[in-house]
Amino acid sequence: MRSKIPRYLLAVLALGAVAQIGQVLLLRELLMVFHGNELSIGLILSAWLLWVGMGSRLGAVIVGRLNRPLFLLMITGGGILLALPVTILLIRGLRGFFDVMPGAYISLPDMVISCLLLMAPACLLIGAHFVLLSRVWREADHAEDTSGAGKTYIGEAAGNMLGGILFTFVMVHHLDSFQSAVLAGVLMIFAVLWMTRQRGKGMPTLPSGSRPVLLGLLAVAILVVPFLGHVDQWAYRMQWQHFAPDYPLVETHQSKHGTISVVQRGDQYSFFQSGHLVFSTAGPEVIAPGLEEQEAVIFAHLAMVQHRQPEQVLLIGGGLRGTLSEILKHPVERVDYIEMDKVLTEAAMPYASRATLEALADPRVRLIHTDGRLYIKTSDRRYDMIIVDVPDPATAVLNRFYTEEFFEEAAALLGPDGVFVTSVTSTADLRGTAIANRNATIYHTLVGAFSRVLPAGERTMFYFATNAPEQVSVDVLTLTERFRDRRIETEGFSEHHFHTLLPESQLQRVNWVVRHHGRCPEAHLEGPGAVPLRPGTVTEQEAAELLLPPVEPRYFINSDMKPIAYYYTVMVWDDLARTGHREAFRWFLHVEPWWVLPLVFIPLVAVTGLRAATRRTGRRPDTFWAILFTVFTTGLSTMALQIALLFSFQSVYGFMYEMVGLIIAMFMGGLALGAFITHRYVTDKANLNRLTGVQLLIALVAGLVALVLPWAAAVPWTAAIFLLFSVLTFVSGLVNGVHFPLAAACCMALSGRAEKSTGIVYGVELFGACCGAALASIVITPILGITACCLLAGIANATAFVVLLISRRSYA
């Protein structure tokens, strides 16, 4: 057996590696089309898992009828080689298939349709390939049980790990998407050829004439790789014609944080990362700031006059769009400017304005390429001002800069009279439930970290927060005096702007909305009430706020573990982009934790009824159903835990776009080890008692992760954080990996057919994972929180444990 395993193992490892590379490639490409919106991660992974599961079932049916596994392996391997690059090309042109305005978000229903249609070809082939390899391995071992499936499952998981590592450390830095996809397909074809290279008794061989066909396909694929860079650039230009036809694509750059696209319109250059607008700037030929930088000019000066004597300033983001150059016009001694992506800075240099280039060269400026959130968490330097100039929390990555944890960490870095400033887009008097929910949530979250918070603004809402109440002000005369005393000369701002930006009546209305909204149970659904004709001055409203009812924390406090502001921002963009779909998001806001109870009750009633039928008929449908239910819950918990760990890791590190491959690799490494331990050291795998025990173990581990995760995310040492997340990820994969060989063996003991058992168990597990991905990323994480994902996994597996306890007597 040892002489045979290396050949089949290479093919199985290749399957796992190609599946992982393909999954991450399509995930990254679709995230760009969906503006980096992490809600789509659940949809993408769900569609992937659903079709792979259906492919495994389809493969089991076809190989049972044709009985030609090697011929089918040749077809699926060649099909994967073609399907991956074609799918990437279709994704680049996806927006052209929908009636969506340039720059607008694709609606949630359109996202679902897109993921289901685009994922189908590659995923069906990958799922079928798994079952075919299981069949070949079983026949080579002359076995009649599911040992071939167990070995394939282990090898595929190990291949997933290797593929994730390869993509994270090599492909993402040196290859474009098309090159990565074709080389992944080349690996698949090579593995099939390698597996059948030897001839002899008992050795599988390809049908006559198949080997030259595969060799020819392999040669063509290798020869076209150097030319795929041109295809990649052409596909990006096609994508931008659909995304923003009036903004020609100038160039693209690959970064560990996402694909950077530079587009131009006249003198304006805009920079997008993963399809999300980061900033726009005037070109180097523009002397005075125009409309491109006017928002940055206003933001910088409104922020800087909030402190009487700002000397030490921390600026997170915004420097490349003009904020930095305006800050330097104030009497500052030092500005630490945080820009996360070095590639973005380098890409912006040829297109930055003269003022920005001079600001970056100013000796008072220290440019730091790191994650702003990570810097805030680990720095021990004190600042007079912290200014956060990042886009709205339209993604979970950006939401990290609007949570209570971040605000508390920022407050700890400020001096006794320090000031914190941030901003988000708004509407006149906060019209619209979604925008009112989001902006009120940020206000209430800030109030938890600072003793005084002043909101102001109309099209843009500014938040000035401090623990020294006399520092910040929205009084026009006070701010005008501070600005005049500094004798600032700038083309885009003067002391007269304060009268235009801070009219008293508008300040009163805005303050009334954010201070009152969010204090009743249905506020998140009903929106803010009507503003009184005389809401009172800002000072009067501050005093009256102490007498108002408490805020509803579930819907109006934004945190790392429950990113509700991110969900509201997605609702805002959906309102702006499409009409008729807002009710879907509103419906999700009705979700309550107790809704999980029917999901617990129904399986228990079902297995009890089947148990009664077993006693009358002598058959064992309850046991077979119970086993499949445990497989479903294991798949659901696997993906729910994975989503929880991905989002938690992202809340600290902020670069899941690069690290998603590595995180999944760690999970799959644990999965492979767990499956290997079971396959190697458990002799009686068709033992329902063992399966029952494993189900309880998975439930306990999920509960443990729920307890540890918030604490792990708060650890201040980066190395310790990474180690903790690695351990949690690996252990979660380990306990889930133990389950598959046991469930497949128990299913085989009842059905008596190896391939059928493999296809059913693999397919049901992936269907459970599909449901887990959708629930975790779309509903559970933003509405109930990341910890609730872990609790859902624990409750599901605890229910499966009880179901097995009820049914296992009939099994014996």
The overall average pLDDT reported for the chain is 84
Residue 453 host element (H or E): strand 452-456
Q: Could you tell me which residues come within 8 angstroms of residue 223 by beta carbon, excluding any fewer than 6 positions away?
A: none
Q: 536 by DSSP, 3-state: which?
A: coil
pTM, to two decimals? 0.84
- At 3 the pLDDT is 44
Counting residues of the chain whose pLDDT is more than 90, the rounded percentage is 31
Least confident among 99-113, 214-228, 503-517, 758-772: 99-113
In this prediction, residue 484 carries a pLDDT of 93
- Cα–Cα distances in angstroms (integers) from residue 421 to residues 284, 390, 598, 772, in the given order: 28, 11, 45, 38
Determine contact, residues 171/180, Cβ cutoff 8 Å.
yes
For the residues 669-688, what does the mean pLDDT come to?
Answer: 82
**Torsion sign over Cα 92, 392, 355, 374:** negative
Share of the chain above pLDDT 70, in %: 89
Confidence of residue 377 (pLDDT cuts 50, 70, 90): confident
Phi and psi angles of residue 334, each rounded to the nearest 5 degrees, phi first: -155, 140
Residue 307 is predicted with a pLDDT of 95
Axis-axis angle for helices 786-811, 688-713 (nearest 10): 170
Q: Which pLDDT band holds residue 786 (cuts at 50, 70, 90)? A: confident
| HEC sequence for 681-746 | HCCCCCCHHHHHHHHHHHHHHHHHHHHHHHHHHCCCCHHHHHHHHHHHHHHHHHHHHHHHHHHHHH
Amino acid of residue 560: D
Helices 433-447 and 404-413: angle between axes, nearest 10 degrees = 40
Structure-block tokens of residue 534 = 């005389």
- pLDDT grade, residue 410 (50/70/90)? very high
Instruction: Give the position of tokens 């090309």.
Output: 89
Question: Strands, E, within 274-402: which ranges?
Answer: 276-282, 312-316, 334-338, 365-368, 383-388
Residues 469 and 452: their CA atoms lie apart, in Å, by 6
Greater confidence, 242 or 563? 563
What is the C-alpha separation between 154 and 605, in angstroms, rounded? Answer: 34
The tens digit of pLDDT for each residue in 218-265 reads 899 999 999 998 999 899 888 888 877 777 888 888 777 778 888 887
C-alpha neighbours within 13 Å on the C-beta side of residue 316: 24
